[in-house]
């Protein structure tokens, strides 16, 4: 009985379609956009900066009992240049990373393709805003939501087309080592990105 059970599990793993992969890894790259409205109280300066540039994501998920929901971790890295500013002397670039946990849910379309959604929460990371005369470092947190479409090439490999909203929360920030009043000085943060990539599932 034990041997038969083991064979059944092995057949299930080998025969699982990508839509119900037991384990998957995703790698995506694309374009991201970030906008900050900042009010530096002690400098009596307010600026509205928009950044754009490269975004990369690597994530991995584990599926349980062949249902279209998986749990995993996601890592994002971005490096963006300022594209527009209300004060050209403030704001040059943005770079950093974030790590979060996410739920990956999908609706299979045929045998190998699907529509999918990701809902997660960022719990650690580090970003830096580069200015002409100082840098601002901050720690991100908050919800992230993405959705997309996967086109399966084989049972194991698929093309991902994805867009969504990364986290916009901030737990703490420093300007050249000096603490900032996050809720007051970071008045507004908006972000979005679009990416393409590959998924490998087993």
Per-residue pLDDT of the chain in tens (202 residues, 90 and over written 9):
554 554 444 444 333 444 567 899 999 999 999 988 888 776 667 778 889 999 999 999 999 877 899 999 999 999 998 877 665 555 678 899 999 999 999 998 887 889 999 999 999 999 998 877 778 889 999 999 999 999 999 888 999 999 999 988 888 888 877 888 887 778 788 999 999 999 999 8
Structure pTM?
Answer: 0.83
Instruction: Return the CATH number of 2-201, one of 2.40.160.20, 3.30.420.40, 2.60.300.12, 3.60.21.10.
Output: 2.40.160.20
- Closest among 190, 149, 183 to 168, alpha carbons compared: 190
The alpha carbon of 158 is separated from its chain's Cα centroid by a whole number of angstroms, namely: 19
């Amino acid at each position: 009985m034990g041997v038969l059970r083991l064979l059944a599990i092995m057949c299930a793993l080998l025969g699982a379609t990508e839509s119900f992969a037991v384990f998957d890894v995703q790698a995506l790259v694309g374009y991201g956009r970030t906008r900050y409205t900042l009010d530096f109280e002690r400098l009596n300066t307010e600026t509205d900066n928009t950044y754009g540039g490269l975004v990369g994501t690597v994530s991995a998920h584990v599926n349980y009992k062949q249902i279209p929901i998986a749990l995993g971790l996601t890592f994002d890295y971005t490096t963006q240049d300022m594209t527009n500013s209300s004060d050209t002397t403030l704001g040059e670039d943005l770079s950093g990373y974030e790590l979060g946990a996410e739920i990956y849910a999908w609706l299979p379309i045929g045998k190998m393709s699907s529509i999918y959604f990701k809902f997660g929460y960022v719990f650690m990371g580090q970003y830096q805003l580069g200015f002409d005369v100082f840098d601002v470092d901050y720690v991100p947190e908050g919800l992230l939501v993405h959705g997309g479409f996967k086109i399966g090439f084989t049972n194991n490999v698929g093309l991902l087309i994805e867009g969504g909203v990364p986290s916009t929360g901030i737990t703490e920030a420093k300007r050249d080592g000096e603490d900032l009043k996050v809720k007051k000085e970071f008045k507004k943060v908006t972000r979005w990105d679009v990416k393409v990539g590959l998924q490998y599932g087993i």
